[in-house]
Structure 1
Amino acid sequence: MTFPQFVYKNVIRNKRTYAAYFLSSAFSVLIFFVYAMFIFHPDIKSGVTHALAVQMMIAAEIVMYVFSFLFVLYSVSTFLKSRKREFGILMMHGMTRNQLNKMVFLENMIIGIGSIILGIAVGLLTGKLFLMVGANVIGIDQLPFYLSKKALGLTIGAFFLLFLSISFFTTFIMKSNRLIDLFQAGQKPKKEPKVSVVLSLTSAVLLIVSYYLAATATMASLFIRMLPVIAMTIVGTYFFYTQLSVFISKLLKKSRLLFWKKTNLVTISNLAYRLKDNARMFFMVTIVSTVAFCAVGSLASTTVLTEQSQIEFPAEISYLAKDQQPIHKQNLVQIEEELTNNNISYTTNEIEIKFVEISSSSSQYTTEKIVALAFSDYKKIATEAGFEFKEEPLRGNEVLAMRQSTLETFRPVSYVLKQEQLNLKPQEMTEHVVFPFQLIQEDGVIVSDELYKQLEPITTELYTGFYTAEVENTNGMVENLVEEGLAIPSEERPWGLIVRGTINEKLLSMYRMMFFVALLVGAVFFLAAGSFLYFRLYADLDYDTRQYLTIKRIGLTDQELNKIVTTQLALLFFVPIAVAFVHSGFAFMALQSFYQLSIATEVFQVLIMFLVVQILYFFFIRYRYLRNLKKALI
């Protein structure tokens, strides 16, 4: 048998241990390859949406590649630690240090090249499906299958370099242990895990404070709190697994009713050791899973923004005329004709807007004029838009601040008009958005009808709103007047125009595309997290076998063995996922400050999807682990 043949058979004999690592690497290659096929497809040409899709996939490629490097590096280092006894036997039979390094190098390259071949092969088989789905998501014509040499070369080159670099690196990190240490690896009795009460309390405080800051975050404070909360959560999570969880497990031992109940004696006795041994792995799984949950959940929740657009844009088509030019009549006639030709039933209204000059204001921003609107006209806009209107009519000098976005918060600002030094001091903000901020960018107020009649404007503008229940049918209307559904007033353009159907479609297409990209990247992260659990579990199989064999000799039944293993595996699989769920839950509570509508349903669906996958994976691994364990106990 030649040396390469020996290395190859060595990999095949350890296929059980390498399975999750190999499949996770192949899946990363698959996603990288199909993204590259999309990026280099000749039919992906120009356009904002197309360019954004390509940019997002390039970003996803970079993120996945960096993550794959870290994943492979961690996996290889874990395998090396679990094979010390094997290395000792080989060195006892005459294998030199150089031959050992060469063997490890070749093993890594065999697995790496195999995962590249499998990932690209599956990518070629599923490439057409990916291109169909991707084209549908970004709203372009169906893309024919096209095998790009650039995509193929980039994938092979990038991952070959990745596995080659790590294979070289692992030969340098292998320490030259004594034979006695290699043979006794995994057989030495484990030391009692030590725990620090101070670090345990620090973990609890950091997590509680970070959760509180996330739960109470507002739109204004979110960006300020984001980095401190992330840092505290990461540090708190690390100490939770290395200190606090071990501290809690030791407290469980002191409860005689719980500790001495049936098989709890074995389960809880091993709990502190397993938590301490697997602390880093638990930490990595939790952080990786949290990133996956937050990425997919955040983008799934953005679909709410299309529903929220009805709040942001009260009218399906909004037109603002800044002067009396004839072009306004032409534009309005075109809008009406297109609505009629598309058989869209609609209603319309015209609202006069006054711009009044001010002499001073309490705002920190310098302004010379503000927008004023009569309360009856505001009510007309809200009623036509289908909003539930509950606000009481204004009387005398009562004033409301004009809301122009759902993200806007009330700022108590008072204005003194040049006209008779009238003092306008809003006490609260309108409940509904009045005009989209893209049309009217100045501050505004809603005043009583009596006061509105008394105001002497420096200029007036005319707002026309078109309202219909068939918002999706307005997509693509008046394309000669708007770009991507929006035309903002400027010095050259004396009018503004917003088509909500077009904006909705563009937003929905972008969100679907972002969700599609994030879902695949999240799947890579989640699969890698499962792989960490898998090969860590099988790395401890020999130790577990000796432990359960000893207990079985004193009367442990198969039913009790199943119960102990199931409990310990459940802790191994679901503790990090549960912590990741909690982290993600508070992250989504902070994200909710960006939305007026609830995102709870979308977030719940994403978390349930990941939980179902984890449960299925748990039962699959439990079946295989119990089968291998019982074979070893015979």
Structure 2
Amino acid sequence: MNFKEFATKNVYRNVKAYFAYFLSSSISAALLFSFTMIIFHPKFVVLKLPGHMRNALHITTIIAYLFLCFFVFYSVSTFLKSRYKEFGILYIIGASRRQIQRMISIENIIITSLSGVVGIILGIVFSKILLAVSGKLLGVNALGFYIPFKAMIITFIGFIIIGIMISIFCSFIIKEDMVLKLLKGTKKPKAEPRTSIILVILCVVLLIVGYYMSITSSEKNIAYRIIPVTVIVIIATYLLFAELSTFIIKLLKKNRRLYMKKTTVLWVSNLLYRIKDNTRMFFLITITTTVALSAVGSVYAYWRDKEHQINKDFPQAFFLSDIYSNKNKIDLKGNFIETSLKNKDIEYNKANSELKLIIYGAEDKVAVIKEDTYKELASTLDLSIVRFNKNEAIMITDSTAHEEKSVVLDNTEIQVAKKVNNRIMPAFYGDVYVVKDNVYERINGSKVYFSTFNVKNYKDTLNICNGYKNKFSEDNMDKICKSFLKANILETTKIAYSVILFSAIFIGLIFFVTTASFLYNKCYMDIIEDKSKYKQLNKIGLTYKEIKKVLNIEIGVLFLLPYAVAVIHFIFAINALNAFQIKITVPAFQVIGIMLIVQIMYFLIIRKNYLLEIKKSLI
């Protein structure tokens, strides 16, 4: 038997150890293949997606590959550490460092190649369902089956490259001068984990600060808070597992009545070491799960709420505006829309008027309209009209901020009589102030002429919007010259959020599959030591029922603690969407519920196999 045959057979001998790594790699390969197959689909290629959306899909694929590389490296390094004794024996019987590295390289190339092939096969088997679901999600008709040669090549080559990179990576892990350490493996006695009260307090403070900054975010400051909050929570998460959890378990140990009660002494002591030893793994799983939950949850919340947001931000089916000197252009465009509506037998309400736009700096602007204009727009939208007195104004906004008592418009201070939350103009114009006619005439600003059309069901006007776009596509849009076509905006938004949601779900699945594999690998490493430990405890009187109780707690903490922390992070993170008045409760609970069900199912499967192995060792 040559060395290549020895390495190949070693994979078969360690099939149980490699199974989780192979299975998760195969599922990841299937997901990557399916995603690549969809974005290279002939029908998807001709879909009129904006360039940045196509780029987002390609970037998503790259992110997935990079994360897979990280996952494979982490899994392999963890798995190799569990084989220290095996490598030590090989060194003693004469194997060289180069031979050990070659053996590991052959093993990993075999597994990554096979997982790539299996993933492609799985992707093809379930391609019909995936294409139908993805087509519906992306807002197009069901994508038909085709032979995805390009996706096959990309997926297979990608996994071959991962295998080669692992071969290079492994040369830095196993070294010949570590024979004594390799032979001892993980049997060296461990000192009791220490905790720092300063780091425990810092962890609690950082969590409170991070959560507070998240839930108090507003539309104006959220962009500046995202990075600081993320950094704060990441640091706090690491300290939570490295210090706070150990501190809490030590407090449990000090409660002698609880600690010395039956099997509590055993699982509390075990958890003290398990959590401390697995700090990095818990940290990685928590952060990746939080990212997956937040990505899917936030995009899903936007996706569900997109129509409500568009109805709120764009009250009219059509809103056309330009500088007052270009009034004839707006009338020409308005005539086209009016004629199109009449040809389609669609009833409509029309309003033509003007506003003044006061522009401050590069972005800030304030729109001012007359009372008569306000009444006309409100009547076309069936909104109640708010009355106000001379030298007063109405503020029309959807902001939940504190009401202004007065406002200065072009050096003219006006008292704000009331704040109205129902928009009468597109959100582009921000807060709109309604003033009396004489006040309006005194205010200096860019005079804008606009024309609006409102219909009962704006979704029926999509063809008219497309016709308008084709006819007037040469117009240059700026701060004043604007065309808001509600049906077209909805269609564009649906496609955009569908693509983003599709990408978020894909990345979320990759994260979930790989983190599940981390847990399986950890369980496999622990079970070798646990078999010996519980066999000795069984001999001195600990029953299988008591062992089962202890392991239920230990495995439950291993699987559910990172998820529980990730869910808490996610709840505070998604609450930031309240700043944009997004309905988040239902989407959040749906995402948490689905992930929790899958996590519990995976926990039950691993727990059953784990207990079965322990039970066999007791016989």
Q: Which runs of 5+ in 2 are unaligned?
A: none
Match among 586, 589, 605 for residue 572 of structure 2: 586
Amino acid at match of 2:316: A
1:273 aligns with 2:273: yes
Moved more, 494-503 or 287-296: 494-503
Amino acid at match of 1:598: K
CA separation in 2, counterparts of 1:618 and 1:368? Answer: 53
**Other-structure match for 1:308:** 309
Amino acid at match of 2:318: I
Q: Go from structure 1 to structure 2 and tell me whether the alpha carbon gap of 1:355 and 1:292 turns closer, same or farther (over 3 Å shift).
A: closer
Does the CA-based 8 Å contact 1:53-1:138 persist in structure 2? no
1:561 aligns with 2:547: yes
Structure 1 segment 221-370 matched on structure 2, within 5 A: 221-303=221-303, 304-320=305-321, 322=324, 331-342=333-344, 344=346, 346-355=347-356, 365=361
Once the two structures are TM-superposed, the CA of residue 277 in structure 1 deviates from its matched residue by 0.9
**Other-structure match for 1:414:** 408
CA separation in 2, counterparts of 1:485 and 1:80? Answer: 64
CA separation in 2, counterparts of 1:326 and 1:212? Answer: 53
Match among 590, 593, 597 for residue 605 of structure 1: 590
1:396 aligns with 2:383: no
1:474 aligns with 2:461: yes
CA separation in 2, counterparts of 1:136 and 1:347? Answer: 32
**Other-structure match for 2:3:** 3
CA separation in 1, counterparts of 2:539 and 2:549? Answer: 17
Amino acid at match of 2:301: S
Does the CA-based 8 Å contact 1:477-1:499 persist in structure 2? no
Moved more, 268-277 or 312-321: 312-321
Structure 2 residue matching 1:463: 3-state secondary structure: strand
**Other-structure match for 2:368:** 372
Structure 1 residue matching 2:171: 3-state secondary structure: helix
Amino acid at match of 1:577: Y
**Other-structure match for 1:381:** 377
CA separation in 2, counterparts of 1:368 and 1:618? Answer: 53
Which digits, 9 at most, give the CA deviation of each residue in 1:192-226, with x for residues without a partner? 11221211221111111111111111122112222
CA separation in 1, counterparts of 2:445 and 2:564? Answer: 61
Which digits, 9 at most, give the CA deviation of each residue in 1:134-169, with x for residues without a partner? 444434455443335443333222221121111122
**Other-structure match for 2:97:** 97
CA separation in 1, counterparts of 2:595 and 2:491? Answer: 28
**Other-structure match for 2:522:** 536
Does the CA-based 8 Å contact 2:381-2:454 persist in structure 1? no
Q: Go from structure 1 to structure 2 and tell me whether the alpha carbon gap of 1:398 and 1:305 turns closer, same or farther (over 3 Å shift).
A: same
Once the two structures are TM-superposed, the CA of residue 110 in structure 1 deviates from its matched residue by 1.4
Amino acid at match of 1:168: I
Q: Which structure has the highest helix share of the two?
A: 2
Q: Which runs of 5+ in 1 are unaligned?
A: none
CA separation in 2, counterparts of 1:367 and 1:59? Answer: 30
Structure 2 residue matching 1:200: 3-state secondary structure: helix
Q: Go from structure 1 to structure 2 and tell me whether the alpha carbon gap of 1:496 and 1:80 turns closer, same or farther (over 3 Å shift).
A: closer
Amino acid at match of 1:15: V
Once the two structures are TM-superposed, the CA of residue 413 in structure 1 deviates from its matched residue by 4.6
The total of aligned residue pairs comes to 616
Once the two structures are TM-superposed, the CA of residue 287 in structure 1 deviates from its matched residue by 0.7
Does the CA-based 8 Å contact 2:448-2:480 persist in structure 1? no
CA separation in 2, counterparts of 1:448 and 1:326? Answer: 27
Q: TM-score, normalised by structure 2?
A: 0.90
Q: TM-score, normalised by structure 1?
A: 0.88
CA RMSD, 1 decimal: 3.4
Once the two structures are TM-superposed, the CA of residue 243 in structure 1 deviates from its matched residue by 1.1
Does the CA-based 8 Å contact 2:108-2:167 persist in structure 1? yes
1:214 aligns with 2:240: no
1:433 aligns with 2:423: yes
CA separation in 2, counterparts of 1:591 and 1:77? Answer: 39
**Other-structure match for 1:503:** 489
Once the two structures are TM-superposed, the CA of residue 281 in structure 1 deviates from its matched residue by 0.6
1:188 aligns with 2:176: no
Q: Go from structure 1 to structure 2 and tell me whether the alpha carbon gap of 1:625 and 1:376 turns closer, same or farther (over 3 Å shift).
A: farther
Amino acid at match of 2:277: D
CA separation in 2, counterparts of 1:618 and 1:264? Answer: 21
Does the CA-based 8 Å contact 1:382-1:432 persist in structure 2? no
Amino acid at match of 1:581: V
